[in-house]
């Protein structure tokens, strides 16, 4: 099956709900030997879609004969001959195959081999097609004798005036800038150290599992041929009990020990690592207390937020709220002694469209916005994979203005105006974003707002805005 035909089929299935002429009852051709079913015509933007099923199950074609189904669009002096379908008997079928007939091979069928032929077509829309007629000629040819011709009107008005006057926009997508792809993976490990010591024992308590977490994160990047580690950072935390000075020593020393352990596993250069430490994790303690049901929750929060010195603060909580403090010391403080780590890495650039498509399905986090955009240019606008590409892009880059603008355009194409509005809130204020908001207003029926926004987009240099303003004016006049 021709690739363009497959694309047309996808588009028609997606777009027929938009601005569609009624699906008519079945129509017989050639004294009932052929039947046209599910006939529908629609317009979307600058394209006209024709869809019908041609039932040829009752058609009997002699071995040296052929039947040509040739649709046309016409109105007054305008006429477009649409691609014909041929059903041929055995000899005529192979004759066309051998001689590379003018009939497109994807529309050539051998009699008796197919009961229903799906006819799907996309043609550029022109204004005269409003109220145009869709006719079909059926010609029976043979090696001898005169061709038999039958003309039938399938549809007298393929696109009613009210549908032709609907607002059909052109969408403007932005090509993202090329950027270095720097990603990072983060995690927390809870390494057990002997009381008041900084030595690390890999087999001590739960250390085997916690150290494995760190190494597994590094391995996930290190063993991927598409990535290169740029840096590893480790930040150690101690809990608030004990003296602040001693906690500085513990947090700093334990962080350095953990770094050396990790470095030794891979023989990484020291320059690859950065370390820092937090002597007492008061922020972590505050997060827990705020969400807890402690008896003196509010009072403890006020102490945590106070300007008291750390040692005095911890002592005050301990002395004043003994039961709550005992609970914190037993259940919460151990979790405040943790080491946060981050692996920062670079992903190589991708240029092969098929590889990018595979990664879109399996590892979209490896792709840049630009790579997603570039592969979308190889897809048919409006197709399922095209729309999905921009949806993936905005999921991977939810705060990016370009990703949100392109996703808004896709949502509007699909008729999902509430989702498009959500994306447009984060699309920025470029001429393309203002233009898209104007399109959204027009599709929502708010023509005054649409006009204001499109004029602003025009002032900002968006070249499509003038044409959309003309279309908008035509629609508004048609409603008067």
| Structure confidence at residue 437 (pLDDT) | 96
pLDDT of residue 165: 53
Topology (CATH) of 182-345: 60s Ribosomal Protein L30; Chain: A; (3.30.1330)
Q: What is the pLDDT of residues 291-338, one digit of tens each?
A: 999 999 999 999 999 999 999 999 999 999 999 999 999 889 888 888
pLDDT at 96: 83
Q: State how far the Cα of 260 lies from the Cα of 271, in Å rounded to an integer.
A: 12
What's the confidence (pLDDT) of residue 222?
Answer: 92
Q: Point out the residues of the chain with pLDDT beneath 50.
A: 1-23
CATH number of 3-159: 2.60.40
Considering the segment(s) 367-478 as one domain, its CATH architecture is Alpha Horseshoe (1.25)
- Spatial CB neighbours of 85, under 8 Å, sequence gap ≥ 6: 54, 68, 69, 70, 107, 109, 117, 119
Is the whole model's pTM more than 0.75, yes or no?
no
pLDDT at 154: 82
What are the tokens at 339?
Answer: 């080491």
CA distance 242 to 221: 38
pLDDT at position 45 is 62
158 φ/ψ angles, rounded to the nearest 5 degrees: -70, -30
pLDDT of residue 413: 85
pLDDT of res. 139: 81
State the pLDDT at residue 19: 42
CB atoms within 10 A of CB 51: 22
* Residue 99 token pair: 């001689």
Encoded tokens for 270: 């020291």
Q: What pLDDT does 17 receive?
A: 39
Going by the DSSP 8-state scheme, the letter that residue 129 receives in this structure is G
Q: Check: CB of residue 465 under 8 Å from CB of residue 430.
A: no
What is the structure's pLDDT at 11?
40
DSSP-derived letter for residue 163 is H
Contact 472, 445 (CB under 8 A): no
User: Rounded to an integer, what distance in angstroms lies between the CA atom of residue 260 and that of residue 268?
Assistant: 10
pLDDT score at 259: 95
Tokens of 61: 């074609």
**Cα-to-chain-centroid distance, residue 344:** 26
- For residue 404, with 0-12 CB atoms within 10 Å meaning exposed, 13-18 middle and 19 or more buried, which class applies? buried
Domain residue extents for the chain: 3-159, 182-345, 367-478
């Amino acid at each position: 099956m021709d690739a363009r035909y497959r694309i047309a089929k996808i588009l028609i299935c997606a777009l027929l709900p938009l601005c569609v002429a009624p699906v008519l009852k079945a129509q017989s051709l050639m004294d009932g030997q052929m039947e046209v079913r599910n006939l529908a015509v629609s317009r979307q933007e600058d394209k006209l879609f024709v869809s019908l099923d041609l039932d040829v199950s009752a058609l009997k074609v002699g071995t040296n004969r052929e039947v040509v189904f040739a649709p046309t669009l016409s109105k007054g002096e305008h006429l477009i001959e649409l691609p014909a379908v041929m059903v041929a008997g055995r000899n005529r079928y192979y004759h066309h195959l051998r001689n590379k007939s003018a009939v497109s091979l994807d529309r050539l069928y051998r009699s008796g081999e197919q009961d229903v032929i799906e006819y799907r077509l996309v043609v550029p829309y022109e204004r005269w097609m409003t109220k145009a007629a869709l006719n079909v000629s059926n010609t029976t040819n043979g090696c001898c004798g005169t061709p038999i011709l039958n003309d039938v009107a399938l549809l007298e008005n393929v696109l009613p005036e009210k549908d032709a006057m609907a607002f059909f926009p052109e969408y403007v997508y932005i090509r993202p800038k090329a950027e270095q792809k720097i990603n990072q993976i983060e995690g927390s490990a809870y390494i057990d150290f002997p009381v008041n010591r900084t030595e690390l024992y890999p087999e001590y308590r739960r250390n085997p599992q916690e150290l494995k977490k760190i190494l597994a994160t590094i391995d996930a990047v290190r063993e991927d041929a598409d990535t290169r580690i740029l840096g590893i950072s480790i930040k150690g935390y101690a809990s608030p009990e004990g003296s602040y000075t001693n906690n500085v020593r513990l947090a700093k020393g334990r962080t350095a020990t953990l770094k050396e352990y990790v470095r030794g596993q891979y023989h990484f250069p020291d320059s690859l690592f950065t370390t820092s430490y937090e002597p007492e994790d008061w922020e972590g303690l505050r997060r827990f207390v705020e969400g807890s049901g402690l008896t003196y929750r509010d009072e403890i929060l006020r102490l945590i937020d106070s300007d008291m010195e750390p040692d005095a603060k911890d002592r005050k909580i301990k002395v004043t709220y003994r039961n709550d403090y005992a609970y914190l010391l037993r259940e919460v403080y151990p979790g405040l002694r943790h080491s946060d780590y981050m692996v920062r890495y670079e992903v190589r650039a991708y240029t092969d469209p098929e590889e990018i498509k595979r990664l879109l399905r399996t590892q979209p986090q490896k792709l840049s916005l630009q790579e997603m955009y570039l592969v979308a240019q190889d897809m048919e606008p409006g197709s399922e994979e095209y729309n999905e590409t921009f949806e993936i892009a905005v999921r991977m880059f939810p705060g990016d203005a370009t990703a949100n603008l392109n996703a808004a355009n896709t949502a509007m194409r699909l008729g999902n105006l509430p989702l498009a509005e959500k994306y447009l809130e984060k699309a920025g204020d470029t001429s393309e974003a203002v233009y898209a908001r104007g399109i959204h207003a027009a599709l929502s029926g708010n023509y005054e707002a649409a006009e204001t926004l499109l004029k602003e987009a025009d002032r900002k240099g968006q070249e499509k805005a003038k044409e959309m303003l003309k279309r908008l004016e035509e629609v508004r006049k048609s409603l008067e």
